[in-house]
Amino acid sequence: MTDDSRQLFAIITHLVTSAPTSLDETPILAAFRMVDAAGRLMALSAPDDEFLRAAHADLTDHATLVLTDQAAFREWLDEYVRRFTREALSRTASAS
């Protein structure tokens, strides 16, 4: 098994084992778990993708807001999602 395969399996396991926990935790912590998993995936693919590299750095810079300032985390997350949406639309348009 390659190192990438091991890392990918660890991320998948994190997602699967987080599912039951998310039923009992606050919605903001469940949201954090999702972006945390996305960050782990970005770390695997970011070297090849400028957008994901920047998005991973941004996540790293703002992840602790979930513990220190939840309102700021929500605001950051809203903008983060908008950036991903714009990028997804751009990539979809480019592929057409």
8 exposure class (CB count in 10 Å sphere: 0-12, 13-18, 19+) = middle
User: Residue 5: pLDDT band by 50, 70, 90 thresholds?
Assistant: confident
- On whether the pTM is more than 0.85, the answer is no
Comparing C-alpha atoms, which of 43, 27, 28 is closest to residue 76? 28
Task: Give the whole-angstrom CA distance, residue 52 versus residue 61.
Answer: 14
User: Residue 46: pLDDT band by 50, 70, 90 thresholds?
Assistant: low
